Amino acid sequence: MKKIKKLFLTNQGLFLVIILSCFPLIDLLNSGLPVTHDGTDHVARIANFYNALKDGVIFPRWGEYLNWGYGHPVMMFLYPFSSYFASLFHLFGFSYVDSLKLVFASGYIASGITMYLWAKKQFNDYFAVSSAVLYLYAPYRFVDMYVRGAIGEHMAFIFPPVILLFILLLFESKKRKKYLYGIGLAISTCLLLLSHNAISLMFLPIFAGYIFYLSLKHKDYRSLSLAAIGILYGFILSSFFTIPAFLEGKFTLRDIVTGDEYKKRFVDPISLLYGKWSYGITGQFSVQIGIIHLIGVITSFIFLASKKVRKLTGLVWLMFVCFVFSLFIMTSYSSPIYDIVTIFKKFQFPWRFLTLTVFTSSVFASGIFLVIKKDKLAKVLVFFIILGSLATTFTFWHAKEYKTVSDDFYNNVYYGTTDTGESAPIWSVRFMEKEADFHAEIIEGSGNIQEISRTSVRHEYFVTAQSERVRIRENTLYFPGWSVRVNGKETEVQFQDPNNRGLITYYVPKGQNNVVIQFYDTKLRILSNSVSVFGFLIIIVGCVFIYIKHGKKN
């Protein structure tokens, strides 16, 4: 009992953050799926992802039931971490919908915890509680959870504080632990990339700035090198996803669909200050920074601008610069930058930089606690930040409505692609419009087709061709990796026929034929998989080596 009491007394701030993170999640206790922009699509992805895992595919890339049953490579390009996490919940018996809700809930709580842990280590307990509360109660967090249903961005909020924490621990630790924290930095960077690849790029300048800041503070350039290596190693660990997602995008409609989309999605500067809460689409839902965040930023700016404290707050000013940049890049004033730095176009929606805004404003608005020296005053201020955050956002803590759908719905043909068409193969139409009558059809010649077996990545048929040459259409979209074997021999696949746009077609000779159509990893994917696996093996060997070496010293 004494140990529990001591644990509570030494971690009051952490327990407070955990309790506060539970309030906005109460609405998720409603049965059914929250009606959001992308919620149903995410559940469909999870179902296809889980089915691929069940078929023995470690790195799922093909959605069998998506796109009206024609299949889709969307899972190759969209953040797999949340799908792995949800699949784990489903494995333990939760429905797909409940698994999604559990991912949202656990991700939300975890983000508050990670922000608190880093801020406490870097600053102090009051700063940590304040920044964690602001991080949790930013209006955009509820847009992601209850309006958009953006699971990728939602989960990405967990990892920036974790990465900063490992960077800090690396600089402040002794030699042996530096390598362990470097490993933690690599894994957390990998998880951020797997949570949302685009969001990861937003935070790279903050990570780089933080490493540079600590290297100057500690005059430790060896740790600077280790931190940089740790982040780069995170890219290596995530190679199985990031490399194909980046390089094989040329086989999709990505650049056509998203090319100049950003020009229509710039944010009105006034709407950053205040906007009516709405469950509508882009241009309708709120992109406000948050009343308490704005008050906190202005207050901290006034106090931290004092010459007396300027030397103590270099890191906080870095957050302020990134905060101002995040606001600027969301407005049309930044349009020339998009033309110069074209990678910004890949973000598609400038308001996505609100993720960066939430993080930086939560930190900078808490900077006032670097000035306040009196304990009582700090407690009062924390109380008002908590009260204000709850009071100004409590009407946002719920979904528009809920709908109940069984798992059977998601385990069958899904009438959608789960994206806006940017991941569709470049040879196909952007969206299919109806479900095919059969998985495979004869389109030239005569004969019959008998389906033998079917998994998410392997379709087997027995074809009796009555004509000299029979052409068959497999009602599956072609994407690099699909292969057709007739009687054990690889057969040419035709997929650019204008009458069968993007669909797999092939010929079989007269007589009885065994046909196997299978989705393999390309050489690029195999290489990427190997890089990730090899990277994890090195980490395991390194941990064993460190453990043995440390054990001998003891």
Written as six digits, the tokens of 185 are 């930095």
Q: Which residues of 323-349 are buried (b: 16+ CB within 10 A; e: fewer)?
A: bebbbebbeeebeeebeeeeebbebbb
Cα–chain center distance at 532:
18
Q: Which amino acid is at 499?
A: N
Confidence of residue 2 (pLDDT cuts 50, 70, 90): low
Beta bridge partners of 328: none
Q: What is the rounded CA–CA span in Å between residue 96 and residue 546? A: 40
Decide if pLDDT at 153 tops 60. yes
Decide if pLDDT at 253 tops 90. no
What are the pLDDT digits (tens) for 110-145? 999 999 999 999 999 999 999 999 999 999 999 999
pLDDT of residue 254: 82
Residue 323 main-chain phi, psi, to 5 deg? -65, -50
Mean pLDDT computed over every residue of the chain: 91
pLDDT of residue 554: 47
Confidence of residue 544 (pLDDT cuts 50, 70, 90): confident
Please state, for a pLDDT cut of 70, what percent of the chain lies above it. 96
C-alpha dihedral, 189 to 194 to 195 to 199, nearest 10°: 70
Confidence of residue 265 (pLDDT cuts 50, 70, 90): confident
Q: Which amino acid is at 86?
A: A
pLDDT of residue 372: 87
Q: What is the rounded CA–CA span in Å between residue 518 and residue 163? A: 39
What are the pLDDT digits (tens) for 441-450? 999 999 999 9
Which residues lie below 8 Å from residue 222, measured CB to CB, with a gap of 6+? Answer: none
| Range 387-402 average pLDDT | 96
Residue 123 main-chain phi, psi, to 5 deg? -120, -100
Residue 253 main-chain phi, psi, to 5 deg? -85, 15
Confidence of residue 214 (pLDDT cuts 50, 70, 90): very high
Residue 422 per-residue DSSP state: T
Whose CA is closest to 191, among 149, 246, 235? 235
pLDDT of residue 1: 56
Task: Tell me how long the chain is.
Answer: 554
78 against 528, higher pLDDT: 528
Is the distance from CB of 522 to CB of 516 less than 8 angstroms? no
Is the distance from CB of 76 to CB of 423 less than 8 angstroms? yes
Q: What is the rounded CA–CA span in Å between residue 32 and residue 403? A: 5
Give the global pTM: 0.94
| Range 527-539 average pLDDT | 95
Confidence of residue 552 (pLDDT cuts 50, 70, 90): low
Least confident window among 58-62, 97-101, 256-260, 378-382: 256-260
What are the pLDDT digits (tens) for 315-348? 888 999 999 999 999 999 998 988 888 788 777 7
Beta bridge partners of 506: 472
Is the distance from CB of 545 to CB of 179 less than 8 angstroms? no
C-alpha dihedral, 430 to 434 to 439 to 445, nearest 10°: -90
> What sign for the dihedral angle of Cα 437, 439, 442, 446?
negative
